[in-house]
Each structure stands twice: as C-alpha cells, then as structure tokens.
Structure 1
Amino acid sequence: MTTMDSPQPPLHVVLYQPDIPQNTGNIGRTCVAVGAKLWLVRPLGYRLDDRYLKRAGMDYWQHLDWEAVDSWAELESRLPAERMWLLTRYATKLAWEVSFQPGDVLVFGSESRGLPDSLRERLAHRCLKLPMRPEVRSLNLASTANTIVYEAIRQFGGLP
C-alpha cells in the first residue's frame, strides 16, 4: 500500500472481489493517472504479489494509493455510502444522468459475478450503467472503470 501526500483523492475506485489481476493492474494505472485511490475488497481472485498484477500496472504501481479491506462492511465504515455509485448492467440509470462530485466512490463488481444482489438492491438508487446493445452481456472491467473514471473527472472539471 502506498500513501500519497494529497489529503483527499478526487475519486475512490472500489473493486469488489476482483478475479483478474491484469484488470486490477490496468485500473490501478488509471488511478495513478488521475490521482484516485484504489480499494480492493477481499477475497481477491489472485495474490497481491501476482506478476500479472504488477505487469499490467507496470512501473506505476509504486505510485498508486491503494488499500485492501477484508469486507464490504469495513469499506462502508471507511467511505461515505451517500457518495457511492455502483456500476452494474442491471441499473436503469445511465452514468451520464448523474452529476459526479470530487470524493465520489465508484464501485465495480468482480469480473465473474458482478456485485451481489443484496448490495444492488440496498443501493438501487445509486446504481449506474453504460449503454450497450443487448447482444453484449458486459464490458471488460478495466474498460468500464476507465470510462466511468474519466467521465467523472470530466464532469467536475478535470485534474487539479
């Protein structure tokens, strides 16, 4: 875990029980690019010293502000639920129908299971999706995260 000097990141990016280290590495690189903090909710589908994770994050990983937590409850105790946006294909609201703000929490589910039904139901008013044709079941996690992170940054005026 690296702690950066900036007091508050512009965004918090949460990966809920991610399965694929390459996606986490790529999302970590995006977080470095925009100054976001990456949160990983265990269990993870890989080890944190996985070579694929490091390779995908390349030499940026040492600059990443990140933290792994043991449960959703621990994450919720540390981040404001009223600032959370859950990305899921089951949402009815598109990502550009909301106004992102600095400090928002963007939550992405695992590649194989997505977010749990109980979480999506409890926070249904905070669920968002990207538009896609019915022939496509889902998009790659890293692609989705990049799209949403940069849309949020664009909405609130770019990087400091």
Structure 2
Amino acid sequence: MLHLVLYHPAIPQNTGNIARTTVGMGAHLHLIHPMKFEITEHAVKRAGLDYWPSVTLTEHASDEAFLEWLGDRQPWLVTKFGKHRFDQAEYKDGNVVILGNENTGLPQAWHNRWPDRTIHIPMPGPINGGENIRSYNLANAAAIVMAHATMRNY
C-alpha cells in the first residue's frame, strides 16, 4: 500500500479530492498538522463525497510526530525542484510519497534530508504563446504520482 502524505495542507477541496483518489488507488492518506482547516469542514467531505468513510487516514499532530512514524523509511518528495522525473522513480509497495503545502511547499530541511529522493512532474514550455505554469494543482499532482506509483505494483 502506498502512503501519501500531505504536509500542512491549506486548501480543503484539495485534501478532499486527494482523499477520494487514495480510496480509488488503495492508498493510505497521512495529514501533517497544523492544517489551515478542520477535517470536519464541509468542503473536505464534499470533495470526498460518500467516499470519506472509506479513507484510510492517519493524522500526525506535528512534523516531529510524522518523522517518528516515518522512522528509517526513505520517502519520495514531490517538488518542482525534484532531481528525478516522477515516472523514473522505483516505487515499491509501502513507499511514502510526500507533497508539500499548496503555498510554501516542503521545508528546505526536508529537501536536505533526502536530496536523492526528490521527484518532479515535467511541465512543458509555453503552449499557444501563453506562459509557463508555476506548478500543477496539488490534487492533480497527487493523482499523477499515485496513479503511476500504484500501477507499477499491478
């Protein structure tokens, strides 16, 4: 089972959509506090719809509590500054994939702690004369990585 971790999530709709995707992918969702909302908020559960009771969820009270749970495991960190493309990482059952906060990403200390375990999703250049995007929506990035990591185990 894949463990998908959201670091200090800020947008309830993203968390709700990601929770729904974890149900479909058979993944375990981890939320690291503090968060900018409460799980009881209508937006989270609405985005998760009737799947919310099926979410395998662990909430970690702090960064330290999460790191204690993590132990010696080597997580994959999803970041636009990642060293490896998301589809070139060697995912295994039980892997932990961490996505940063929608506004601030992951702390630099975490990048420094696992410098060879960072992955990115390529972003093509400008299309139709437009500008490059800064990043993908968190829920979309989670779905892209989860689908690839999960399907490699089937």
* Structures share fold, TM-score greater than 0.5: yes
Q: Distance in 2 between matches of 1:121 and 1:65?
A: 29
Q: Does 1:57 align with 2:54?
A: no
In structure 2, the residue matched to 1:139 is 136
Q: Which runs of 5+ in 1 are unaligned?
A: 1-9
> 2:83 touches 2:116 (CA, 8 Å); kept in 1?
no
Q: Shift of the alpha carbon at 1:82?
A: 3.2
1:105 corresponds, among 96, 109, 126, to 96
Partner of 1:23: 14
Structure 2 unaligned residues grouped into runs of 5+: 126-131
Aligned structure 1 segments of 4 or more residues deviating by more than 3 angstroms: 80-83
TM-score for the superposition, normalised by structure 2: 0.92
Q: 1:42 to 1:147 in 2, by over 3 A?
A: same
Q: Secondary structure at the match of 1:82?
A: coil
Aligned identity (percent) is 35
Confirm or deny: 8 A CA contact 1:83 1:103 kept in the other structure: no
Shift of 1:79: 2.4
1:78-111 deviation digits (Å, cap 9, x = unpaired): 1244341000011121111111000000100010
Letter aligned with residue 104 of structure 2: R
- Report the aligned-residue RMSD: 1.2
Q: Are 1:91 and 2:82 an aligned pair?
A: yes
Q: Which amino acid aligns with 1:20?
A: I
Q: Determine if contact 2:6/2:98 at 8 Å carries over to the other structure.
A: yes
Question: So what's the TM-score if we normalise by structure 1?
Answer: 0.88
Q: Is contact 2:123-2:133 (8 Å) kept?
A: yes
Structure 1 position 66, deviation (Å): 0.3
Aligned partner letter, 1:148? V
